[in-house]
Amino acid sequence: MRLKIAIALAGSCLLLASVPLWAHHAFAAEFDVAKPLKLTGTLKKWEMINPHSWFHIEVKGADGKIAQWMVEGGSPSALIREGVTKETVPIGTVLIIDAYHAKSGENKAVGRDFTLPDGKRLFLGGSAQNVAPPAN
C-alpha cells in the first residue's frame, strides 16, 4: 500500500485517528512525479535505518560507465523484527527498481517497486489478504 489513504485523509480535519497513514517525510516534495526511472543496478550497500532505508547501487550506463545511485526504500523495522538483516540481501544482488528521480537532479530516487531479475518482487512472497482469524 502506498499513500493514497493519507491523501484522502488530508482533506478531513475530523478524522484524527482513522489510522492516519503517512510516511515520515513528504516524498512528493523530494522526488519528481514527472520523472519516473527504471534503474537496474548491483547492490553495494543497504543503509538499514529506521525509519529511512537506502539502497546504494551501481548502475552501468549505455556508455559502459558506472554511476552510483541511492534509492530510498521503506522503514526496515518490521523486517528486522522477523530476522532480516543487512546480509539478507547480499551485496552484489541485482535489483531492478521502478523509481522516481530526486527533484535535486542528483543520482537519488525513491523505489516504488523493487524486483529481482527473475521478475519476483523483493521481500514480498505472501499475500497480505491472508489474515488470521482472532486468536483469542
What residues numbered 57-116 form the site for other proteins, per CB under 8 A? 70, 72-84, 88-90, 92-94, 98, 100, 102-106, 108, 110-114, 116
Among 61, 63, 64, 135, binds other proteins (CB under 8 A): 135
For the bound state, the minimum distance from the C-beta of residue 39 to other proteins, rounded and expressed in Å, comes to 14
Contact between 14 and 29 under an 8 Å Cβ cutoff? The reply is no
What is the sign, positive or negative, of the torsion defined by CA atoms of 131, 121, 56, 80? positive
Comparison of 65 and 136: residue with beta carbon closer to other proteins: 136
Query: Taking the complex as a whole, how short is the minimal distance between the CB of residue 115 and other proteins, in angstroms?
Result: 9
**Shortest spacing between CB 56 and other proteins, in angstroms:** 11
| DSSP 8-state class, residue 121 | B
- Helix, strand or coil, per DSSP, at residue 31: strand
**Span 4-33, contacts to other proteins by CB under 8 A:** 4-7, 9-10, 12-33
Q: How many CB atoms lie within 10 A of CB 78?
A: 10
To other proteins, the closest distance from the beta carbon of 59 in angstroms equals 16
CA-derived radius of gyration, the chain: 17
Closest CB to other proteins among 60 and 121? 121
Give the nearer residue to other proteins in terms of CB position, either 61 or 119: 119
- Grid cell, residue 99, equals 523509481
Instruction: Please give the Cα distance from 38 to 70 (Å, whole number).
Output: 13
